[in-house]
Amino acid sequence: MSELNYVGKSVKRKDGPDKVTGKAVYTQDVRLPNTLIGRILRSPHPHARILRIDTSRARALPGVKAVITVEDTKGIKHGFVETPRYPPDQEVLARGKVVHVGEEIAALAAVDQITAQKALGLIDIEWEILPAVFEPEDAMRPGAPEIHPNHPKAPREFANIGGTTETQWGDIEKGFAESDYVREDRFECQLRTHGYLEPHVTLAHWESDKLNVWTSSMGVFVKRAKLAKVLDLPYSSVRIHKTYVGGTFGGKIDLYSHEYCASRLSMITGRPVQITASREEIFSAYRHAQPLILEIKTGVKKDGTLVAQRIRAINNAGAFRGSGVVVIFLAWGFTMIPYRIPNLKYEGFSVYTNHTVRAPQRGHGAPKVRFAIESQMDMIAEALGIDPITIRMRNAREPGEQLPNGDNTHRGGLAACVALAAEKSDFLAKVGRDRASPPKGTLRRGIGIGASAYMGGTLIYPNGSAVIVKMNDDGSAIVLTGAIDIGQGSETVISQIVAEELSIGMDDVKIISSDTDTTPQDIGAWISGMTYVTGNAARQAAGRAREKLLQVASEKMGAEVENLVLKDKMVYHRLNPELKMSYREVIAASVATHRGDTIIGEGFWRTMRDEPTHPSLATTKGRWTENYAFSAQVAEVEVDIETGEARLVKALTVHDCGFPINPQLVKGQVDGQISMALGHAFMEEVLTKDGYTLNPNWLDYRMPTIHNMAISEDADVITEQYRVGQPYRTKEVGEGLISGILAAMGNAVYDATGVRLYSTPFSAEKILAGLRALEYAAKKVRSASKAPA
Amino acid sequence: MILFDFDYERADTLEQAVALLARLQGDARALAGGTDLLPGMRMENIRPGLLVSLSGIEPEAPQVLADGSIRIDALTRLATLENSELVRRVVPMLAQSAHVVGGNQIRQMGTLGGNLCQEVRCLHLDQKHDYQFVAPCYKRGGTCCYPFPRNAPEVCWSVYMSDIAPALIALNAQVEILGETGTRRIDVEALFTGNGLKPLALSQAELLRAVLIPAAAPGFTWGFHKSTVRGGLEFGMAVLAVALQLAEDGRTCTDARIVVGAVREGPVRPVAAERSLIGKTLDEERMEQAAADTSRVVNPLPHHGFSKRHLMDNIRVHLRRTLARALQRARDQEAGR
Ligand SMILES: Cc1cc2nc3c(=O)[nH]c(=O)nc-3n(C[C@@H](O)[C@@H](O)[C@H](O)COP(=O)(O)OP(=O)(O)OC[C@H]3O[C@@H](n4cnc5c(N)ncnc54)[C@H](O)[C@@H]3O)c2cc1C
Ligand code: SF4
């Protein structure tokens, strides 16, 4: 096969120039005449019954054009998950009671912000305050305030269970009995948020029979499906338009109330309605990630071989089901992928509490699960007197292994990543160094490793992507794709593939994207599958156009297709380069001799073409994907043992993304995840008290700045390749790399100080407390040994 | 976005601004860089009927007076302070304290006077009250305190977080205040009441005109530290400013001023700890003791998610280091001479 010209190259981003020059149009930039401002009235209580709502004073205020409550809706529910076991559970506006602070109760549209604000203050509500509960283990206890009834299939002894996941294989008790060493630990994580810089914003405009919507999202087809459903409109009456998106990280997937409200208010008033969430609303009323409690019992042989593992995951899922039941399902997966565990029992509980609803956040549970498992892995290794690399190599999955769910690791595998990470970081030479011989001063260095794996492109609505490539008669191409570029670079990657398949320039490819009316259906940018699924669809579409070009050229040139080569918008005869045609000529010939065929190629793709549907959230039965990405990450941290202040100094990421279609974009993903992980490790926490958010702003919720970024090195373990005209297999690289490094940082803090941290963030306060406890223990040992016999 | 109506006037001189403020009594506010006032208005913690903008008044450049003291116009932007060659040379601690404020955009807009007169902070205060913490707390004229529910109505345990005030107090600076009846001059230290409900000892129609910092005598040295979580673009969890006067031996302390900011309703001076250093040789042990005493007597308020114990730990270690750095600075200067 000849050299690749675009795929595998760090070509410039398609969206780069528009973004850096400020030309890119985001939702907030879209202007329509006569637009009304929408605002939402939110609950001031974590749990309360609404006895009466009176909107008459708000309606009467001059400048207010419409006010809606749940009575103005069709009462159709929606949910992140909508299955027979987990039917939709959430109304677009509160009915009868509120279950979290900030829950949407009413919405209104007014001529300007000040009027809208005044009108909100004129809505009267009579409340009956209900007891509320915020910690999942409190909420699970029988007799706890009931937020929603227990799920009918949940164990009777609990309360407020939104859903459960249970699975097991082997014989767990036998496994523990056969183990040489067993330990049990409990890990917890703080509440974190996505930190997308563009707020949630929606502009809706109803035109006699069509609802036009511009909204900041991660997938326009999911939005259309959910919005059309709650509005009771056919899909053909709802059009989600393309806009640039300023970050999402999982926080813009599901339907949000403001999207419904803007739409409904526009339908009532006949005018465009825009609703922009303030940053405070995003922090205190919108969705955050899911704090998990993980209890892990693990049994191993003397040499570190895993024999049995029992995991109990409890998710503080907030006030509706949200993606809470997905996280407890995924937590199982993040447990079973990287290492071989012959006997396993897993149970996960998604528990309602009076917190805001939860959403996926980059990694969707994996960082928390891997933090727990990889921390415990190091504890086990230490107890057994083996090093962190050996214990991981001993258990790491190899290529071609069958996973418990029937999937296969194919050419991927963790072992190669761990080995390379250890070598590149000089891990074994560094580990334990500062504790063995503490350097002068108060700074201690530590090194730690963490491993992870992530799946790509799992089936979930709309399950597949299609792409259309239209040749222009000058030989350039227009690509129609539903893929949404949320900053990850999908338009660039798709262009590279199309340019490669068609042998045209990057500038010859123009993308029309993420518009539900003009582009074909797409899976969306939220299940780590776009490069693989939509990319293969694009490859196929461009490939079909190429085949047509070759066919017409072969007829015209009187040559076999096998003897034709494509280069720079020209078709050449392989043996006689004098014999050639430009694409322009070929396309003209196609129109002339093929009944007007202007050359259009179609492609479509999905993961696991033989699997009808996604696996069961409750039992985990069913296959996931053919694409698992494995990774091992090493962190080097520095801790001041006098102040407890710690920072990530250097990160090494060794990952298997199949092969990088655009290495620079892969590097961007790696670095972005390192930065997010160090925020998780050392800085970020949404502080809440009784369901109220204490730090709903960028000053008091500390995300890392560029100055906090550590040195980030990475290495690809290339397991796949790209060939023109052939399907390819790329793997996840956009969200799985927070996990290993987070765990690695925890392990590195331990390596530096001897302080084992069981919860994130690794605050100075916790590290100091740990150091004090160590000092105290050491003193006790000293005084005991001094005591007279 | 500020969601209420207010009037706006631009003053050409500070005198004019004072006159405008006096005329409207409690309902008018001076607007300098607006980096503190406008967020406060957006959150509707304050709802002035009139803003008197000072942005039309050109600040005088920092200047050294005949007695060697330096005079800095209150309208000077923080970016000017941190970058001014004169300020960096004559009062480096001031430049340093201005440099650590917020981020560059804040320093480009924020002024010295506005920094000193910034509002106290509390997580329960610094947000809109549309649906969270709706009932006004004491600070907002209401009848409760969220973090300290047992506090009496006259007690608000919010924290005053200016980075520059501790430095100025350590430097023994004064402020010149312009009122309706003329100017008065007080120590910067006297500007703070220690009362979270009314943290500044200024009347409604008074404005800061300038800050005056006395000339440094030979043997002067300083140390400054702002404790943070991410190292910038954030308010301090504790701010430490130290000014020492050393005898000729370079080790005996003849005067000491220690100021701790961001942990109480105003900057705090641990006078006993200062005294414990005076006339003494500054060795590790003595500095350690002074730092430990300080962290105790300052009695930090738990704020912004930091516990009292952790703040005490932080102050203890960082104050000792700041004192040591001040000493080291003096030695380096001596060596460089
Ligand atoms: C994101 C952000 C980060 C920040 N970080 C920090 C930080 O790290 N450290 C820190 O110290 N501050 C910080 N601040 C506060 C910042 O507002 C001040 O540092 C700034 O210097 C205020 O100056 P200003 O001119 O903008 O004040 P303004 O907002 O204009 O005024 C503030 C108050 O002072 C009054 N005032 C203004 N000038 C005078 C005067 N001459 N005489 C009397 N009263 C006057 C006003 O009426 C108002 O009440 C931060 C602010 C933001 C928004
Ligand atoms: S400490 Fe002060 S500002 Fe904070 S809630 Fe109490 S009274 Fe209000």
Render pLDDT for A97-119 as a digit per residue (tens, 0 to 9).
999 999 999 999 999 999 999 99
- Provide mean pLDDT across the span A648-656: 97
Q: Structural domain tally of chain B? A: 3
Report the percentage of chain A scoring pLDDT > 90: 95
Indicate if B204 and B277 belong to the same structural domain.
no
Residue among B130, B235, B317 minimizing CB distance to A643: B317
Domain span at residue A530? 16-22+460-606
CB contact burial B291-301 (16+ within 10 A = b; e otherwise): bbbbbeebebb
Contact A363, A735 (CB under 8 A): yes
CATH number at residue A597: 3.30.365.10
Considering B53, B74, B94, which residue would you say is the last residue of a domain?
B53
Q: How far is the CA of A695 from the centre of ligand 2 (A)?
A: 14
Whole-angstrom distance, CA of residue A694 vs CA of residue A686: 8
Give contacts of A 16-55 with B, CB under 8 A: 42-44
Considering A606, A641, A669, which residue would you say is the last residue of a domain?
A606
CATH number at residue B187: 3.30.465.10
Indicate if A569 and A619 belong to the same structural domain.
no
Please check the confidence at residue A248 and state whether its pLDDT lies above 70. yes
Residue B141 lies in a domain: no
Map chain B to HEC letters: CCCCCCEEEECCCHHHHHHHHHHHHHHEEEECCCCCHHHHHHCCCCCCCEEEECCCCCCCCCEECCCCCEEEECCCEHHHHHHCHHHHHHCHHHHHHHHCCCCHHHHHHCEHHHHHCCCCECCCCCCCCCCCCCCCEHHHCCCECCCCCCCCCCCCCCECCCCHHHHHHHCCCEEEEEECCEEEEEEHHHHECCCCCCCECCCCCCEEEEEEECCCCCCEEEEEEEECCCCCCCCCCEEEEEEEEECCCCCEEEEEEEEEECCCCCCECCHHHHHHHCCCECCHHHHHHHHHHHHHHHCCCCECCECHHHHHHHHHHHHHHHHHHHHHHHHHHHHHC
Map A218-233 to HEC letters: CCHHHHHHHHHHHHCC
Angle at A108 between CA A106 and CA A109, to 5 degrees: 165
pLDDT at A787: 67
Give contacts of A 572-631 with B, CB under 8 A: none
Burial class (CB in 10 A: 0-12, 13-18, 19+), A756: middle
- Provide mean pLDDT across the span B148-165: 97
pLDDT at B214: 98
- Number of the ligand 2 atom closest to the C-alpha atom of B197: 2
Which residue, judged by its Cα, is nearest atom 6 of ligand 2? B145
Indicate if B37 and B102 belong to the same structural domain.
no
Indicate if A435 and A522 belong to the same structural domain.
no
- Number of the ligand 1 atom closest to the C-alpha atom of B14: 41
| Spatial CA neighbour of A41 closest among A67, A77, A73 | A67
Q: How far is the CA of B137 from the centre of ligand 2 (A)?
A: 6
Q: Is B34 a pocket residue for ligand 1 (Cβ < 6 Å)?
A: yes
Indicate if B262 and B181 belong to the same structural domain.
no
Residue among A42, A114, A695 minimizing CB distance to B123: A695
Any idea how long chain A is? 789
- Provide mean pLDDT across the span A435-464: 95
Residue among A117, A693, A699 minimizing CB distance to B235: A699
Question: How would you classify the pairing of strands A292-300 and A181-188?
Answer: antiparallel
Cβ–Cβ gap B231/A707 under 8 Å: yes
Contact A631, A416 (CB under 8 A): no
Indicate if A588 and A654 belong to the same structural domain.
no
ipTM of the prediction? 0.97
Instruction: Please give the model's pTM, rounded to 2 decimal places.
Output: 0.97
Q: How far is the CA of B75 from the centre of ligand 1 (A)?
A: 11
Taking contacts as CB-CB distances below 8 angstroms, the residues of chain A near B309 are: 765
Indicate if A503 and A405 belong to the same structural domain.
no
Torsion angles phi and psi, residue B133, rounded to 5:
45, 50
Indicate if B204 and B232 belong to the same structural domain.
no
Cβ–Cβ gap A700/B126 under 8 Å: yes
Residue B154 lies in a domain: no
Cβ–Cβ gap A705/B124 under 8 Å: no
Query: Chain B within 8 Å of A120 (Cβ-Cβ)?
Result: yes
Torsion angles phi and psi, residue A711, rounded to 5:
-60, 130
- CA-nearest residue to B313 within chain A is A643
Residue A136 lies in a domain: no
Q: Is B163 a pocket residue for ligand 1 (Cβ < 6 Å)?
A: yes
Residue A191 lies in a domain: no
Q: Is B33 a pocket residue for ligand 1 (Cβ < 6 Å)?
A: yes
Cβ–Cβ gap A42/B131 under 8 Å: yes
Indicate if A113 and A259 belong to the same structural domain.
yes
Indicate if B172 and B200 belong to the same structural domain.
yes
Q: Which amino acid is at A725?
A: G
| Closest ligand, as measured to the CA of B127 | 2
H-assigned helices in A519-582? 535-557
Question: What confidence tier does A1 reach under pLDDT thresholds 50, 70, 90?
Answer: very low
pLDDT at B123: 98
Indicate if A272 and A377 belong to the same structural domain.
no
DSSP annotation string for A240-304: EPP-B----TTTT-S--HHHHHHHHHHHHHSS-EEEE--HHHHHHTS-B---EEEEEEEEE-TT-
pLDDT digits (tens, 9 = 90+) for B175-203: 999 999 999 999 999 999 999 999 999 99
pLDDT digits (tens, 9 = 90+) for A34-61: 999 999 999 999 999 999 999 999 999 9
Indicate if B226 and B296 belong to the same structural domain.
yes
Which residue, judged by its Cα, is nearest atom 9 of ligand 1? B101
Indicate if A358 and A487 belong to the same structural domain.
no
Whole-angstrom distance, CA of residue A405 vs CA of residue A60: 60
pLDDT digits (tens, 9 = 90+) for A127-141: 999 999 999 999 999
Q: How far is the CA of B165 from the centre of ligand 1 (A)?
A: 12
Size of interface A-B (CB pairs under 8 A): 80
Whole-angstrom distance, CA of residue A445 vs CA of residue A156: 49
Q: How far is the CA of B145 from the centre of ligand 2 (A)?
A: 5
> Across-strand partners of A259?
none
Residue B131 lies in a domain: no
Indicate if A766 and A654 belong to the same structural domain.
yes
Question: How would you classify the pairing of strands A64-68 and A104-110?
Answer: antiparallel
Neighbours of B264 (CB within 10 A): 21
Residue B140 lies in a domain: no
Cβ–Cβ gap B4/A43 under 8 Å: no
Q: Which single residue is written with the structure tokens 């502080």?
A: A687
Indicate if B324 and B269 belong to the same structural domain.
yes
Indicate if B326 and B262 belong to the same structural domain.
yes
Q: Is B110 a pocket residue for ligand 1 (Cβ < 6 Å)?
A: yes
Which residue, judged by its Cα, is nearest atom 50 of ligand 1? B102
Q: Which single residue is written with the structure tokens 């009466």?
A: A52
Neighbours of B240 (CB within 10 A): 29
Residue B134 lies in a domain: no
- CA-nearest residue to A679 within chain B is B230
Indicate if A725 and A763 belong to the same structural domain.
yes
Give contacts of A 306-365 with B, CB under 8 A: none
pLDDT digits (tens, 9 = 90+) for A341-390: 999 999 999 999 999 999 999 999 999 999 999 999 999 999 999 999 99
Residue A147 lies in a domain: no
Any idea how long chain B is? 337
Residue A143 lies in a domain: no
Indicate if A453 and A466 belong to the same structural domain.
no
Under DSSP, is residue A202 helix (H, G, I), strand (E, B) or coil? strand
Whole-angstrom distance, CA of residue A569 vs CA of residue A577: 14
Taking contacts as CB-CB distances below 8 angstroms, the residues of chain B near A643 are: 313-314, 317-318
Residue A150 lies in a domain: no
Indicate if B13 and B96 belong to the same structural domain.
no
H-assigned helices in A362-437? 366-384, 388-395, 414-425, 427-430, 433-436
Burial class (CB in 10 A: 0-12, 13-18, 19+), A594: middle
Give contacts of A 640-669 with B, CB under 8 A: 642-644
Whole-angstrom distance, CA of residue A3 vs CA of residue A282: 48
Question: What confidence tier does A788 reach under pLDDT thresholds 50, 70, 90?
Answer: low
- pLDDT, mean over chain A: 96
The catalytically annotated residue of A104, A281, A374, A735 is: A735
Whole-angstrom distance, CA of residue B164 vs CA of residue B151: 29
Contact B133, A690 (CB under 8 A): no
* CB hemisphere CA count around A635 (13 angstroms): 36
Neighbours of A220 (CB within 10 A): 28
CATH number at residue B42: 3.30.43.10
Torsion angles phi and psi, residue B127, rounded to 5:
-160, 165
Indicate if B172 and B190 belong to the same structural domain.
yes
Indicate if B81 and B190 belong to the same structural domain.
yes
Residue A780 lies in a domain: no
Residue B142 lies in a domain: no
Which residue, judged by its Cα, is nearest atom 18 of ligand 1? B115
Residue B143 lies in a domain: no
Under DSSP, is residue A332 helix (H, G, I), strand (E, B) or coil? helix
Active site residue A735: yes
Indicate if A335 and A471 belong to the same structural domain.
no
Domain span at residue B313? 220-334
Residue among A101, A697, A708 minimizing CB distance to B127: A697
Structure-token pair, residue A481: 């794709």
Residue among B5, B131, B314 minimizing CB distance to A643: B314
Helix (H) or strand (E) holding A653: strand A646-655
Question: What confidence tier does A609 reach under pLDDT thresholds 50, 70, 90?
Answer: confident
Q: How far is the CA of B38 from the centre of ligand 1 (A)?
A: 9
Indicate if B163 and B258 belong to the same structural domain.
no
Residue A220 lies in a domain: yes
Helix (H) or strand (E) holding A346: strand A343-352
Q: Treating both helix axes as pointing N-terminal to C-terminal, what angle do A366-384 and A739-753 enclose, rounded to 10 degrees?
A: 40
Q: Structural domain tally of chain A? A: 3
pLDDT at A69: 98
| Closest ligand, as measured to the CA of B146 | 2
Query: Chain B within 8 Å of A682 (Cβ-Cβ)?
Result: yes
- Provide mean pLDDT across the span A688-701: 97
| Residue, of A201 and B335, whose pLDDT is higher | A201
Q: Is B145 a pocket residue for ligand 2 (Cβ < 6 Å)?
A: yes
Residue A784 lies in a domain: no
Torsion angles phi and psi, residue A730, rounded to 5:
-100, 160
Residue B295 lies in a domain: yes
Indicate if A690 and A760 belong to the same structural domain.
yes
Question: How would you classify the pairing of strands A509-513 and A477-481?
Answer: parallel
Q: How far is the CA of A764 from the centre of ligand 1 (A)?
A: 29
pLDDT at A611: 78
Q: Is B138 a pocket residue for ligand 2 (Cβ < 6 Å)?
A: yes
Q: State whether the Cα torsion B159-B165-B171-B172 is positive or negative.
A: negative
Taking contacts as CB-CB distances below 8 angstroms, the residues of chain B near A42 are: 130-131
Taking contacts as CB-CB distances below 8 angstroms, the residues of chain B near A697 are: 126-127
Contact A749, A637 (CB under 8 A): yes
pLDDT at B332: 94
CATH number at residue B228: 3.30.390.50
pLDDT digits (tens, 9 = 90+) for B261-314: 999 999 999 999 999 999 999 999 999 999 999 999 999 999 999 999 999 999
Whole-angstrom distance, CA of residue B186 vs CA of residue B168: 12
Under DSSP, is residue A162 helix (H, G, I), strand (E, B) or coil? strand
